[in-house]
Amino acid sequence: MFLILASVLATLIVMFIVTNFTLGEKKIRRDIPHLYTVHDPQFQRTMGVMLGPTIVPGNRVEVLVNGDGIFPAMLEAIRAAKQTITFETYIYWSGDIGRQFADALAERARAGVKVHVLLDWVGSSKMEDAQIDEMRQAGVEVLKYRPLRWYNISRINNRTHRKLLVVDGAIGFTGGVGIADKWTGNAQDPDHWRDSHFRVEGPVVTQMQAVVMDNWMQTTGKVLHGADYFPMQQPAGDSAAQMFSSSPSGGSESMELMYLLAITAAKKSIYLSSSYFVPDELVLQALIDAVGRGVKVQIITPGKHIDTDIVRRASRGQWGKLLEAGVEIFEYQPTMFHCKVMIVDELLVSVGSTNFDDRSFRLNDEANLNIYNEDFAQQQIAIFRQDLQQSHHITLAQWQARPLLEKIVEHTLALAAPLL
């Protein structure tokens, strides 16, 4: 416990020093009345017109569960590329899976495919320069997003957290997975994480490509366009969808507003899988209000297997009001739980890179795919319930019975939640 307290103190000191560099736009409290449900056509008009790109029909979305299901599908798409590959990701580390992706991307570049890879400077810090050099020698255009320079130190915490792969402008992938060996396997032990990713076909892939291009243009000044990147899209399925994005330079809190509107519209149920659940007062109150309307709210977060214990403790420090209101909270037991999925009223499914914390809502560049399809939502609920079976239900009595020192640590970190 001494080490935990020391870690807490050090973290708070560092956060105090860098707070002027990390906090984005001034937060404005939003009053969002409950006017309609997600099934009401007005909800989709609001989501598609006021907040984000148009919701487009004719999409097919396939869920990929854990590394054994995710990486083979991504690599298969890369190896079959004919014209273009655009790839933006936060985590890319050296290792076996990193080597497989580098080899596949390099092979396609040598075959004449235009391959563009944008890696976050912080998230790719564990990637060997030699691997990047090998890709570049093969013709892959590899760039780092916002490398540290003296003139941009104030934006050191503004990272791209997006996970987007688009092949030939026709097949897209997004979700929570990074390119690192801990995402391989099937969540069979603490060394192999639990995560979900999604393969997409149809008109919404054009929106996914546009999101990738946004940061590519910011980084390079080059505009990638034409039929190789934006081909004509034919209907591929029966799901309506939109690709929603946010960034500090283009409305840093729009992602939180999207979540707030969805939570406020809920009438029946909210199922939330969240790897880092440290919401602000707006989101906390929206969830509490939802329960007050009779909405069933269940949340799965990581348990003891988590890569950032400080985040877990800050999260737990906030649970009192939620548990008192009737929100059900579960901690996933077998391994790190890295999923980022929200299902509202068995219709709307929002998946992507966004966490329920201020870093995602105000600092990072994020991207979420919103799918409007009842059958797809039922499939995701079934997966959620499978995860519930491997999770521990935290009751209000259990939360209140924590040791005193644990309460002090978690309450202190909860106060610092906006800085995490």
Catalytic entry in 192, 195, 338, 365 = 338
Question: Is the confidence at residue 7, as pLDDT, over 60?
Answer: no
Mean pLDDT over the full length of the chain: 91
- Torsion angle of alpha carbons 215, 218, 224, 230, nearest 10°? 40
Catalytic entry in 116, 144, 197, 340 = 340
The neighbouring-strand residues paired with 271 are 298, 343
Which is it for strands 164-167 and 171-175: parallel, antiparallel or unpaired?
A: antiparallel
Residue 16 has what pLDDT? Answer: 43
Residue 362 pLDDT class (50, 70, 90 cuts): confident
Tokens 């966490």 locate to 355
Torsions phi, psi of 356, nearest 5? -90, 70
Tokens of 29: 């409290």
Residue type, 134: E
Residue 30 has what pLDDT? Answer: 62
Q: Is 181 a catalytic residue?
A: no
Residue 64 has what pLDDT? Answer: 98
Residue 157 has what pLDDT? Answer: 72
Alpha-carbon Rg for the chain, nearest whole angstrom, is 21
Q: What is the pLDDT of residues 99-133, one digit of tens each?
A: 999 999 999 999 999 999 999 999 999 999 999 99
Q: What is the pTM of this model?
A: 0.92
Q: Is 411 a catalytic residue?
A: no
Residue 90 pLDDT class (50, 70, 90 cuts): very high
Alpha-carbon gap, residue 282 to 32, rounded angstroms: 10
Q: Is 268 a catalytic residue?
A: no
Q: Is 68 a catalytic residue?
A: no
Tokens 């924590």 locate to 402
Residue 341 has what pLDDT? Answer: 98
CB 253 within 8 A of CB 362: yes
Q: Is 345 a catalytic residue?
A: yes
Alpha-carbon gap, residue 166 to 88, rounded angstroms: 9
Residue 8 has what pLDDT? Answer: 52
Alpha-carbon gap, residue 367 to 90, rounded angstroms: 12
Question: Is the confidence at residue 1, as pLDDT, over 70?
Answer: no
Q: What is the pLDDT of residues 67-89, one digit of tens each?
A: 999 999 999 999 999 999 999 99
Q: What is the pLDDT of residues 140-180, one digit of tens each?
A: 999 999 787 655 665 667 889 999 999 999 999 999 999 99
Q: Classify domain 2-419 at the CATH topology level.
A: Endonuclease; Chain A (3.30.870)
Q: Is 338 a catalytic residue?
A: yes
| Domains of the chain, residue spans | 2-419
